[in-house]
Amino acid sequence: MKRLIILCCLLFAAAGYGQTPEPAVNYYAKDGTVSATDGTVYCIDGADSSIITISNAENRYSTVDASPSLYYKDGRRLETVEEYGRVDGAVADQEAFTRIFREMFTDEQIVALRNLRLPLAVGCAVNPETGVQLEVSFVIGNYPELTSLPPDFYRALEKRLKEEVRWHVNDFAKQLKYMFGLTIFNFRKLPLTSELHQIKPGLGRNDQNLNQGEEVGSFH
């Protein structure tokens, strides 16, 4: 009887080992909209390309087809290259990105994302007066590691970025209704749990090894 039980266990184990794993679910396989469980609707663009845009349907300034122009508070549009060149800003605390992404992604996910080319960028529209991100959009590589993350994941990430990340802008930019920023996230610089002890206490936001965002604070 014992031999029979052992034989059955071995057969089941062999059968399981030989099975091909099911492909990951792609929540963004076609253009259109998807919804998070809280009712938030996201617009999907570029599903059949190498780069997919995921943006809150309530976004006004940072949608795919929105005007890239900036406007003064009195309604005048910026007209010259010189004007746009004077708009400047940066994330007030870049370590906020580290904290959010460390808590949103597991070590296993971070390792997988480190091997991908330009997996994730965060675009935003910022209130120049308060530094609050009015809108957040995600530009992701068309990789299973990112397309298998459900809308609820991006909803949670969007909420945290809006609540925890602030921007410093210069005086000229404070004359505007809104401004745009883009952060291309570098997962190779995001520490794993085992690597956290290697980061010395007191290293500031200007330490290049801790700067997870490439082109942080790039405004137009």
The model's pLDDT over 101-118, given as tens digits with 9 standing for 90+, comes to 999 999 999 999 999 988
Report if residue 188 sits inside a domain: yes
Q: What is the pLDDT of residues 165-213, one digit of tens each?
A: 999 999 999 999 999 999 998 899 999 988 876 655 433 333 333 334 4
Report if residue 112 sits inside a domain: yes
Report if residue 6 sits inside a domain: no
Report if residue 83 sits inside a domain: yes
How would you label 174-213 residue by residue, b for 16+ Cβ within 10 Å and e otherwise? Answer: ebbbbbbbbbbbbbeebbeeeeeeeeeeeeeeeeeebbbb
Integer Cα distance of 46 and 64 in angstroms:
10
Residue 210 has φ and ψ, to the nearest 5°, of: -105, 0
Q: How confident is the model at residue 125 (pLDDT cuts 50, 70, 90)?
A: very high
Average pLDDT over residues 27-44: 98
Report if residue 129 sits inside a domain: yes
Report if residue 138 sits inside a domain: yes
The reported pTM is: 0.80
Q: How many domains does the chain have?
A: 1
**Cβ pair 121, 139 in contact under 8 A:** yes
Q: In which element (H, E) is residue 83 found?
A: helix 81-85
Place of tokens 């070590």: 107
Integer Cα distance of 150 and 159 in angstroms:
15
Report if residue 203 sits inside a domain: yes
Residue 137, domain extent: 25-214
pLDDT for 50 equals 95
Report if residue 14 sits inside a domain: no
Integer Cα distance of 169 and 146 in angstroms:
31
